Amino acid sequence: MRDDFRRYLRAKRTVDDRALDRRLVGLLREQLAKRADAREGPLRVLEVGAGIGTMPARLLEWDVLPPGAVRYVALDVDADSVEFVEPYLRSWAADRQASVSGGGPIEIERAGRRVELEAIAAEAVAYAEQAAGRFDAVVGAALLDVLGVDGLETLLGALAPGGLCYFPITFDGGTRFRPGHPTDPEIERYYHEHMDAKPGGSSRAGGDVLERLRATDDARVLGAAGSDWVVRPVDGEYPADEAYFLRCILDTVEAAVDEVAGESFRVDLEGWLDRRREQLEAAELLYLTHQLDVLGRVDTPGR
C-alpha cells in the first residue's frame, strides 16, 4: 500500500469521528450488550471494508464493544490494508491504556474488554457466503456506496438469528465545497455520475440501504441518522491531518470528473481545482458531504 493512502485513512479517522451519529452509536452499544448477555461464548463481529483497523480501535475507545471476549474479523479486499492493521492498532494502543499482541490473531485488551482480531484479505460477498449464520454483528463503514446494495442480502446472511447490521458513513447524494464557485453544479453532477457508473456504485446508497432494509421481511431498522462529513478550518488551520484529507478529496474529484466529463470540460475543471487548492492552502476551504448511518437487526437465521 502506498504511504499516502495509509496517511489518508489515518487522517480520515477524525473526520469520521465527528460525523458518526452518537445516538446511534449508543444504541449499537446497548444492542451489542444485550446480544452478548443472551449468548454463550465470545461475541462475533464481522467488519467488511475494514481498511487499516480504525473501526475496532474506535469501538474499543468509545466502549461500544461489551466487556468480556469478542472475536472480530476485519475483512478488506486490499491485502496491503490488511497487513497494516496490526501496526495501526499497536500505534493506537501506545497512546492509550490498551495492549496489543500478535503472533497469530491480534489480541487487544482495554478496560476489561478483550478482542481477538483476525485481519483477512478477501472479497466481501464471497466471504459472507461462506460465513452464513456465523456472526452476531456485521459492520460496514463507507462500504455500500462502493460495494453496492445488491450485496446487502448476502452480508445479512452472515448473521445469526437476531444479529445486528451497522452501516455508517454511507454516501447519500450530497457533495459541497464552500465558498461557492460557478462550476460547482457541474463538478457535483459529474462526480456523482462517476460514482453511479462504477459496478455496484451509487451516489444515493444511504437511502437505498435504508429502503432495502425496510423492505426485507426478516430485517428491522433500529435507527437511521445523518453522518455528514464537515471539514473546516478552526482558528486559521485544519484540525489534525485534515488538510491532507482534503487534498486527497480534491485529487479524487479531479480523477473522477476528468474520466466522466472528458477533455471538453478540462479547462473548467482545472480552473475550479486551482481555486480550491488555493483556498485549501489559505485554510479557507470548507467541505461537506451528506451521508447516513443505518442500524438494523435480522430476526431469522442466516440464509
Q: Name the domain count of the chain.
A: 1
Going by pLDDT thresholds of 50, 70 and 90, the confidence category of residue 216 is confident
The answer to the question of residue 53 being in a domain is: yes
**AA letter at 163:** G
Task: Please state, in angstroms and rounded to a whole number, the distance separating the CA atoms of residues 20 and 140.
Answer: 13
Q: What range does the domain containing 164 cover? A: 3-177+197-230+288-298
Question: What pLDDT shows up at residue 25?
Answer: 98
The answer to the question of residue 86 being in a domain is: yes
Q: List, for residues 161-184, the tens digit of each pLDDT value.
A: 999 999 999 999 999 999 999 999
Record the pTM: 0.95
Q: Is-contact 91 10, C-beta < 8 A?
A: no
The answer to the question of residue 238 being in a domain is: no
What average pLDDT does this structure show over 212-239?
A: 95
Question: What pLDDT shows up at residue 303?
Answer: 42
What average pLDDT does this structure show over 143-149?
A: 89
What average pLDDT does this structure show over 16-22?
A: 98
Q: What would the grid cell of residue 107 be?
A: 489480541
Going by pLDDT thresholds of 50, 70 and 90, the confidence category of residue 2 is low
Does residue 65 register a pLDDT over 70?
yes
The answer to the question of residue 149 being in a domain is: yes
DSSP string, 91-125: HHHHTTT-EEE-SSSEEEEETTEEEEEEEEE--HH
Q: Give me the CATH number covering residue 152.
A: 3.40.50.150
Nearest to 115 by CA among 163, 43, 31: 43
The answer to the question of residue 183 being in a domain is: no
The answer to the question of residue 117 being in a domain is: yes
The answer to the question of residue 277 being in a domain is: no
| Average pLDDT score over the chain | 94
Residue 103, class by beta-carbon neighbours within 10 Å (0-12 exposed, 13-18 middle, 19+ buried)? exposed
